[in-house]
A = this chain, B = another copy of it.
Amino acid sequence: MISKVNLSEKFAQFDDTWSPKVVGELNEAYVKVAKLEGEFVWHRHDREDELFLVMAGHLTIRIADQPDVELDPGEFVIIPRGVEHMPVTDGVVHVVLMEPKTTVNTGNVVNDRTVPTDQWL
């Protein structure tokens, strides 16, 4: 049975931040939802392009060697593989991520912010 996913209902089911949850899969990629608050860590994904679509709040993505990208609800950005970036928020942000199943949240960095890649919600 093919079922729809209501994003608001998914965001209502968790409160932890910087820990993306899988809500769908297609073509060896995952659709994930995450809540972000504060600063993350500078990192890159060597083999994966990553899409950030903001659903609530305001998200800044700092990107190496270029101006920050400022995202409001209904806006997305694609960070190409290999590009160093760091998400930063002022308040809680709800974001949808699209990325290959192999994508680690902290990319090339492994530290206490690193979480499993396949936490289904």
Contacts and interface: CB of A to CB of B under 8 A. Distances in A.
A2 B80 contact: yes
Contacts of A70: 4
Nearest to A8: B74
A42 to B, nearest CB: 15
Nearest to A7: B74
Given A74-B8, A76-B5, A78-B2, A98 B49 contact: no
Tell me the number of copies of this protein. Answer: 2
Where chain A touches its partner, the secondary structure class is strand
Contact of A26 (B51, B63, B74, B75): B51
A24 interface: yes
B4 A69 contact: yes
Contacts of A63: 2
Contacts of A104: none
A2 B75 contact: no
